[in-house]
């Protein structure tokens, strides 16, 4: 995929900028920033975006796939980060639908935003944030048990430019079968084989409702198949955590 890149020193959010550019930019355009002032994750949460310490980037996508298949595109981002880390010798796990864990702590989050109507996708923005060279003291106290960085995990500084390229190269390769027809079979295999959830008891939080079940599978639509008592349900959204 042809790649045009916008690079910013400081920006409110790469996803916000990508949405502004998306109507006129070609598919594959990438927005990268050294720092975000308003970085965000899923469910309206903020994303820690220290200057020069992480990868903060968004990709503009315009797939021709059925709009009902588009939410599964998040799995492509997750698999791309997983493969890039593996190429660097780092083993990680994919926490459905949008987090990457190392040492059972979150190192990457993916935020996918879709613009479209009933029959057509206008564009998709995939934001990818990776904690690369954050120091231990830079992680807020309330997040230290849940969040880490590659530098903390490996004990050395990482070339984030190289990691960005690895992620984008893997994304291009995995996205190609999807963009015209919606095929993510290879991606789902990666996500299932390296899942942090499958086979485990989990909590699913949706709004004010909390349910307990067992994660069994990720189906061909990228949904998490959960066993609640004696019934199976495919979940396409919600907050999921391992039940301790």
Q: How confident is the model at residue 81 (pLDDT cuts 50, 70, 90)?
A: very high
Report the share of the chain in percent with pLDDT over 90. Answer: 68
Chain centroid offset of residue 131 CA: 12
Enter the DSSP assignment of 180. H
Does the domain spanning 201-242 belong to CATH 2.30.30? yes
Which stretch of DSSP H or E encloses residue 195?
Answer: none
Reported as a pLDDT band with limits 50, 70 and 90, residue 43 is very low
102-134 pLDDT, tens per residue?
999 999 999 999 998 877 889 999 999 999 999
Question: Secondary structure of 37-73 in the HEC alphabet?
Answer: CCCECHHHCECCCCCCCEEEEEEEECCCCCHHHHHHH
207 has which bridge partners? none
Query: What's the rounded mean pLDDT across residues 81-91?
Result: 97
Q: In the structure encoding, which two tokens stand for residue 193, read together? A: 């084989």
**168-208 tens-digit pLDDT:** 999 999 999 998 778 899 999 999 999 999 999 999 988 78
Return the domain boundaries, the chain. 5-193, 201-242
Q: Helix (H, G, I), strand (E, B), or coil: what is residue 22? A: coil
| 219-233 confidence digits (pLDDT tens) | 988 999 999 988 999
At 238, list the tokens. Answer: 């919600």
Q: What is residue 64's predicted lDDT score, i.e. its pLDDT?
A: 86
Give the model's pLDDT for residue 45: 53
What span, in angstroms and rounded, lies between the C-alpha atoms of 143 and 129?
Answer: 16
Q: Label each residue of 82-106 as H, E or C.
A: HHHHHHCCCCCEEECCCEEEECCEE
Q: Work out the average pLDDT over 67-95.
A: 94
pLDDT at 195: 96
The mean pLDDT value for 69-90 works out to: 94
CA-to-CA distance for 202 and 149, rounded, in angstroms?
25
How would residue 66 be classed by pLDDT, with cut points 50, 70 and 90?
confident
What CATH superfamily classification does 5-193 receive?
A: Bira Bifunctional Protein; Domain 2 (3.30.930.10)
H or E element at residue 232: strand 231-235
Helices (H) and strands (E) in the chain, counts: 5, 12
CA–CA dist 229, 58 (Å, integer): 39
Q: Find, among 108, 121, 46, 41, the residue nearest to 80 by Cα.
A: 108
* pLDDT of 70: 85
String of DSSP letters for 134-177 = --GGGS-GGGTTTB--HHHHHSS---HHHHHHHHHHHHHHHHHH
Nearby residues of 134 by Cβ (< 8 Å), 6 or more positions away:
48, 50, 53, 54, 149, 151, 152
């Amino acid at each position: 995929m042809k790649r045009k890149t916008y690079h910013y020193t400081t920006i409110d959010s790469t996803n916000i900028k990508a949405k502004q550019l998306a109507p006129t930019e070609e598919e594959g355009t990438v927005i990268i920033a050294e720092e975000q002032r308003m970085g965000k994750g899923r469910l309206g949460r903020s994303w820690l975006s220290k200057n020069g310490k992480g990868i903060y980037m968004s990709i503009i996508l315009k797939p021709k796939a059925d709009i009902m298949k588009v939410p599964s595109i998040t799995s492509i981002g997750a698999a791309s980060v997983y493969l890039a880390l593996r190429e660097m010798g780092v083993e990680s796990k994919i926490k459905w639908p949008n987090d990457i864990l190392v040492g059972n702590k979150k190192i990457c989050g993916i935020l996918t935003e879709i613009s479209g109507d009933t029959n057509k996708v206008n564009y998709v923005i995939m934001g990818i944030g990776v904690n690369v060279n954050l120091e231990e003291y830079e992680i807020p106290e309330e997040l230290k048990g849940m969040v880490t960085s590659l530098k903390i995990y490996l004990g050395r500084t990482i070339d984030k430019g190289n990691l960005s390229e690895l992620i984008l190269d893997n994304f291009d390769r995995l996205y190609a079968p999807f963009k015209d027809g919606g095929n993510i079979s290879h991606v789902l295999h990666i996500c299932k084989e390296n899942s942090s959830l499958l086979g485990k008891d989990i909590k699913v939080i949706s709004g004010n409702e909390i349910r307990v079940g067992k994660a069994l599978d990720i189906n061909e639509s990228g949904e998490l198949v959960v066993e609640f008592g004696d019934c199976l349900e495919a979940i396409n959204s919600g907050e999921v955590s391992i039940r301790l």
